[in-house]
Homo-oligomer: A and B are copies of this chain.
Amino acid sequence: MKVKIGVSNRHVHLSESDFKKLFNSDKTLEVVKELTQPGEFASNLKVTLKTGKSVIENVRVLGPLRSYTQVEISKTDAYKLGLNPPVRESGDVLNSEDITIIGDNEVTIPSCCILASRHIHATNEDIKKYNLDPTKKYSVRVLGEKGGIFDNVSVKVSDKYYFEMHIDTDDANAHLLENGSEGFIINE
């Protein structure tokens, strides 16, 4: 059961109110590049992430705006920034890490920074076709010189999704994967 892999670099999703705090009123969120998940896009805007320990510059804001602000980083980034974000599904930001974001203005946003859990985007048709249970976690095998298995991969279902597994840059670099690499869902 083959699945294409998409690698998510560190990025930021913004709520409308945080967008307005971070950027001057002449700024708009424009599509620079469509992402593989329909409707999602890399925007024209970049921000700096800042903590008491360090900064990471040039972090892409993704669009469209959401109902919550969420900063997704890797564990490698977390060490650099001195944070300990929990592993979470997208949107589940309660009691995650606070972080300061710098756009045109500097704003500290409480409870927004997570490590994104590994997940597969699937339509209801994909779920049926591959006999997947969205309430279960799966393991996904990857091949190559630094191959292996990712455990605890969740399945997110929407009929607008493109069938794809998302991992962060630590997972990708550890196993020498890149956008378009292939994984194999273990479904016993």
> Which A residues form the contact surface with B (CB < 8 A)?
74-76, 79, 87, 115, 117-118, 139, 145-152, 168-171, 173-176
Contact = CB atoms under 8 A, between A and B. Distances in A.
8 A-B pairs with least C-beta separation: A174-B174, A149-B149, A75-B173, A170-B174, A147-B151, A170-B173, A171-B174, A87-B145
User: Chain A's interface: helix, strand, loop or mixed, by majority?
Assistant: mixed
Most B C-beta atoms less than 10 A away, residue of A76, A139, A173 = A173
A168 B168 CA distance: 17
Nearest to A140: B148
Which of A79, A148, A149: most chain B CB closer than 10 A? A148
A119 to B, nearest CB: 12
A75 B118 contact: no
A41 to B, nearest CB: 23
Contacts of A169: 76
Given A146-B152, A148-B151, A174-B174, 13 more contacts: A74-B173, A76-B169, A79-B173, A87-B145, A115-B146, A117-B145, A117-B146, A146-B151, A147-B151, A147-B152, A148-B150, A170-B170, A174-B175
28 contacts: A74-B173, A75-B173, A75-B174, A75-B176, A76-B170, A79-B173, A87-B145, A87-B146, A115-B146, A117-B145, A118-B146, A139-B148, A146-B150, A146-B151, A146-B152, A146-B171, A147-B151, A147-B152, A148-B148, A148-B149, A148-B150, A148-B151, A149-B149, A149-B151, A170-B173, A170-B174, A171-B174, A174-B175
